[in-house]
Amino acid sequence: MNRGLGFILGFMLLAGNAFAAGGGDVVLKHKDWSFNGPFGTLDKAAMQRGFQAYSEICASCHSLDYIAFRNLADLGYNEAEIKAFAAEYDVEDGPNDEGEMFTRAGIAADKFPSPYANEQAARASNGGAYPPDLSLITKARANGPDYLYSLLTSYKDAPEGQDVPEGMYYNAAYPGYLIAMPQPIYGDDVSYADNSATDVSAIASDLVYFLTWAAEPSIEQRKRKGVNVMIFLLIMVGMSYGAMKFIWADIKKA
């Protein structure tokens, strides 16, 4: 199975391309993500590494339908770098003056194209399974970042007595523990320019940062606005209370 397909099938429970056998409670690994909490921020270096990991491990099967190349400016890439990324992709455009569709190099305004012409072609290339888009994957279920990180780092040998049918794999973070995908990350799958760690945990963490941003590129702006609104409301409450005390002061004395 293609490693990119394996990556998505593992955590797309709702997509029906992977399934669990039986019930079983799982305990997710929790990380202190920098984007947690009202003052949270995204780690741009981690997002850039995650984008590289996504590009090398997942992009051959999965697009980011809601992300345009120009959005990569949020990750710290400059205009020239974004143009270079986009130009690596072939994008269908048209129709032209003759009414024909044509293929051209991608530009910054384009969204990430699907690697397949249509759903049928995708299924035909992946044994009948449809590799879904990753744009909103960290919002696909509760505790999405922790779940994704846990899933990618929880492949183990099955405990003694646990039957693992052919074509299934044991994953301690997956409901039922049996998952229809091979392990997608083994460590040293990518080589980072900043010489950051490339063990399974590190690559999984970087992917979580990138895909969390992809699910909500405006997350930092939203958090800042929320904090500003709360500060404004607190100030207004204080002013209102002061005004009330002033207005009713004479009445209370009387």
pLDDT digits (tens, 9 = 90+) for 143-168: 899 999 999 999 999 999 999 998 78
227 in the same domain as 211: no
Q: Which regions of 145-223 does DSSP assign to beta strands (E)?
A: 169-170, 178-179
Q: Which residues of 2-30 are buried (b: 16+ CB within 10 A; e: fewer)?
A: bbbbbbbbbbbbeeebbebbeeeebebbe
The number of CA neighbours under 13 Å toward the Cβ of 185 is 30
Of residues 126 and 57, which shows the higher confidence score? 57
119 in the same domain as 63: yes
Of residues 181 and 194, which shows the higher confidence score? 194
169 in the same domain as 243: no
- How confident is the prediction for the chain on average, in pLDDT? 82
Of residues 81 and 236, which shows the higher confidence score? 81
Overall number of domains in the chain: 2
Of residues 247 and 192, which shows the higher confidence score? 192
User: How many whole angstroms separate alpha carbon 155 and alpha carbon 146?
Assistant: 15
36 in the same domain as 17: yes
- pLDDT at position 18 is 39
241 in the same domain as 206: no
155 in the same domain as 46: yes
The number of CA neighbours under 13 Å toward the Cβ of 25 is 1
Instruction: Using pLDDT thresholds of 50, 70 and 90, give the confidence band for residue 53.
Output: very high
